[in-house]
Amino acid sequence: MALKKKVKNLDAVFNPSSIAVIGASREPNKIGHVIVKNFVDGGFSGNVYPINPNAEEILGLPAYKSVLDVPGKVDSAVIAVPAKAVAQVLDECGRKGVRGVVLITGGFSEVGNTEEEKKIAEIANRYEIALIGPNCMGVLTPASRVDSVFLPIYKLGRPRVGGISFISQSGAVGGCIVDLAARAGVGMGKFVSYGNAAVIDECDLLEYLASDRQTEIIVVYLEGVRDGRRLLEVAKKITRKKPIVMLKAGKSAHGAEAALSHTGSLAGSAEAYSAAFRQSRIIEAATLEQLFDFAKIFDQVLPCGKRIGIVTNGGGMGVLAVDSLEYEGLELAEFSEETKKLLRASLPSYANVRNPLDIIGDADSSRYEVAINALLRDENVDAIVVVILFQTAAIDSSVVNIVIRASDLRKKPIIAVCTGGEYTEMHKRILESYGVPSYSSPSSAMRALARFISYAEHYSRYNKVPCDAPIKKSK
Amino acid sequence: MALKKKVKNLDAVFNPSSIAVIGASREPNKIGHVIVKNFVDGGFSGNVYPINPNAEEILGLPAYKSVLDVPGKVDSAVIAVPAKAVAQVLDECGRKGVRGVVLITGGFSEVGNTEEEKKIAEIANRYEIALIGPNCMGVLTPASRVDSVFLPIYKLGRPRVGGISFISQSGAVGGCIVDLAARAGVGMGKFVSYGNAAVIDECDLLEYLASDRQTEIIVVYLEGVRDGRRLLEVAKKITRKKPIVMLKAGKSAHGAEAALSHTGSLAGSAEAYSAAFRQSRIIEAATLEQLFDFAKIFDQVLPCGKRIGIVTNGGGMGVLAVDSLEYEGLELAEFSEETKKLLRASLPSYANVRNPLDIIGDADSSRYEVAINALLRDENVDAIVVVILFQTAAIDSSVVNIVIRASDLRKKPIIAVCTGGEYTEMHKRILESYGVPSYSSPSSAMRALARFISYAEHYSRYNKVPCDAPIKKSK
């Protein structure tokens, strides 16, 4: 996909070798302070230039009166000065050769100040600056330690490096998801709160992320779009190669009004959006939970079908898993005779060797190992859901290694279900941080798995790749 | 409701003045050790008698060879001896005058050993012992420190005292929910894993909990029932006074088979159950999440209608909340002129005083106080959903006090929505532990609120109580 200059310049936003923070501050509670601190504390390896006309030094770094005063090259800038000062500093950025700008400042079209926003856009376009914002919450690239999200880390956690890139029209909703991801152990490639989209809009970001090697899954939170046709065309092309998971807010009548008042963007009907999403193979999330649950499953190897094998140390959870599986249109795998023989030989006599495979409440890690290995080998099983109740006396942390090792073989998707309190959550977080999608309930796991299997079918057919290939290898 | 002797004797199970642990052990990893330790560590105020023919002392308590050797009165016993020894020790319990027994031991009807289970039931019935089990995970009464759940506390947390009582056919599923409740700050009255229900079944427990002053909400996890007609009749009577939230597992074709193999109980079709639930005013939960989400909202004051006021410091979350509200059939309240005037006078000029009320990302606690107080006063608002994004710079822990104070007035239901990571979860837990139902997303909050409002309507009509009365006061 040939990228426009403006979109190509997004490289400067996500992977700059030097960055200026315009509006940097010495006051700890100011946005312009938090952002400088993020770069310093985060270990950003390039140069950081605080810009402030009244400071000599900020957080140990020499400060400059203007970006024009910086001695070296400036790749990218974060702007957090009052709205009326933006035009001038943006023009200075252009003259300095800055290619990417994240404009945090609000007070533009979202409050009716469309004239000033147009002016800003003209300046950015004149210099071919890839400008994110205005009225946005910042940008995050965990791999390059770029972090212009202006909220402190103790309040809003930063996720590990991973393949999910997330673009959000709402800074608040975006921040919640990033914070959730950090806590759950889910990795992220890039996060962009794009605000009013005066220059770079959701389509530009989609195009950029489609070509981005760091991005395996694109996740979008959207309240309204200016050019729905373009969005769907862009998305349709991308979803042949990369999954897009999207939550469209403002689908109800009053929700659309609320969205209009919030971001000034027009929203369409729920049905129209759903139909369009299906056509473009966008995976639609109906809620915040689904957005998060769906996103984290797509870096698994492609399943060859929808026959699911279930392993559990709690019978009741097996029953719930089967209920959810049927509800989502998946199939309960019929174990091969060989599998049954193998399981009968290795499991205690009181275990029933059928699917869902209840390895009983006294199962330890080695019983999980036997069960998972048998199902990995069984050609009748396309994906494995492993329910682990960490409350039982026989279970210890070693079961986590068993599941991670099996998942690392990348033969079949392996999904974990762990429901419970602190001890459970700790282990769930470890599983997730090693790339095993882990859910709090059978229903959320099966729902995500169903979306993945349906997308995988489309993907393998379109790309003529064999099933059990990972999506990312095809790039 | 006149209770049978057997059901009345459940008092001895939940609030005994003395308890024997038959099969008590000195080995830390044995069930018979964990249970004694629970009573000792939990601070149970009555006498605890470990019964073990080969030990002098267990955890500092003198051990006895048989329950018949205990010098004092024994109200209740927990039995965790091998299946073949159960009949004898149960008979000894009967001769000693023990009125309540929790029989942990498995190996009865669930593995085809129905003859032995019948024998056990006969002994219990002969002595009018309220027997829970066999093949169960134990019983929990946080208020009286009764804790025969045989899993260690670091793996399965114990919840604070509260009004939710939970009976579960599956020990595993039950344990997960208890563990979730402990972590989330949700309180519980009683928890019963009732296993094979040889003597005391789900109907007996429902009847007991209906008359139990500690129980405000009854939550049930069920895989199958022996006498569906009786269950529904019992439930129909109870739901006029107390809400029952129920998750029926084994609703799908294969799920029913799995349930049969797991607990030996027959399951019916999903449609049949749902229809029957509606008739009996049972609140049906479709998933584990819903079971948990629904249960914790019912101790709020009754709402007078379905007009919801929303307060948020994140515009996007407001849009999502309105989408969910419409999806669930609730109404967006139209603020009164007085409310609008009041809000205009107190909120910054850039805040739009309409519902959903976006008090903007720079809102601090005092702005929440203004907004919540205005909505509490507004007669057009029946319930308030407060979205708090704890990620913002302006928010601190004091907002939690504002919400708790408003909730304590018990004028209208107040529900919180907090989405995020560690910092958010900490505050969500505080809110929940002070009785403010707190959800991770607008959709889960609105779904629970819709169930509550629908039940409240039925309840006030049937009991001819004014709305805004709490359910529990009517007992």
Closest partner residue to B314 (CB to CB) among A169, A173, A425 is A173
How much of chain A exceeds pLDDT 90, in percent? 85
Closest partner residue to B258 (CB to CB) among A155, A313, A318 is A318
Contact A316 B223 (CB under 8 A): yes
In this prediction, residue A475 has a pLDDT band, given cuts at 50, 70 and 90, of: very low
The percent helix, strand, coil of chain B (3-state, each to 5) is 45, 15, 40
Q: How far is B286 from chain A (nearest CA, A)?
A: 9
Joined together, the tokens standing for residue A303 give 């399943």
Contact A391 B319 (CB under 8 A): no
Residue in B with minimal Cα distance to A267: B319
pLDDT digits (tens, 9 = 90+) for B61-115: 999 999 999 999 999 999 999 999 999 999 999 999 999 999 999 999 988 999 9
Q: Which residues does residue A246 pair with via DSSP β-bridges, in sequence order? A: A220, A284
pLDDT at A364 over 70: yes
Residue in B with minimal Cα distance to A181: B421
pLDDT digits (tens, 9 = 90+) for A50-94: 999 999 999 999 999 999 999 999 999 999 999 999 999 999 999
Say how many residues make up chain A.
475
Q: Which residue has the higher pLDDT, A270 or B250?
A: B250
pLDDT at A26: 96
Contact A172 B314 (CB under 8 A): yes
Average pLDDT of span A411-416: 97
Average pLDDT of span A312-337: 96
- Which one, of B195, B224, B56, lies nearest residue B117 by Cα? B195
Closest partner residue to B157 (CB to CB) among A322, A354, A421 is A421
Residues of A in contact with B261 (CB under 8 A): 315, 352, 354, 358
Q: Rounded to the nearest 10 degrees, how much is the dihedral formed by the CA atoms of B444, B448, B449, B452?
A: 180
Structural domains of chain A sorted by starting position, each given as residue range(s) with its CATH number in brackets: 5-295 (3.40.50.720), 307-472 (3.40.50.261)
Contact A289 B441 (CB under 8 A): yes
List chain B residues with pLDDT less than 50: 1, 266, 473-475
Angle between helices B171-184 and A422-433 (to 10 degrees): 90
Residue in A with minimal Cα distance to B418: A176
pLDDT at A279 over 50: yes
CA A352 to chain centre: 39
Q: How far is A4 from chain B (nearest CA, A)?
A: 30
pLDDT at A469 over 70: no
Question: By the 8 A CB rule, do A226 and A263 touch?
Answer: no
Contact B262 A316 (CB under 8 A): yes
Residue in B with minimal Cα distance to A313: B172
Interface test with A, best of B38, B110, B176, B221 (most A CBs within 10 A): B176
pLDDT at B351: 86
Instruction: Quote the CA–CA distance of B291 and B296 in Å, as a whole number.
Output: 9
- Which one, of B284, B290, B306, lies nearest residue B413 by Cα? B306
Residues of B in contact with A392 (CB under 8 A): 151, 155, 172
Interface test with A, best of B320, B397, B439 (most A CBs within 10 A): B320
pLDDT at A6: 81
Instruction: Quote the CA–CA distance of A462 and A455 in Å, as a whole number.
Output: 11
Closest partner residue to B391 (CB to CB) among A156, A251, A327 is A156
Contact B175 A422 (CB under 8 A): no
pLDDT at A121: 97
**Averaged pLDDT of chain A:** 93
Residues of B in contact with A154 (CB under 8 A): 423
Q: Predicted ipTM? A: 0.92
Closest partner residue to A172 (CB to CB) among B317, B323, B356 is B317
Instruction: Quote the CA–CA distance of A191 and A160 in Å, as a whole number.
Output: 12
pLDDT at A467 over 80: no
Joined together, the tokens standing for residue B136 give 């169960």
Instruction: Quote the CA–CA distance of B443 and B419 in Å, as a whole number.
Output: 11
In this prediction, residue A262 has a pLDDT band, given cuts at 50, 70 and 90, of: low
Contact A170 B315 (CB under 8 A): yes
Closest partner residue to A172 (CB to CB) among B316, B323, B350 is B316
pLDDT at A31 over 70: yes
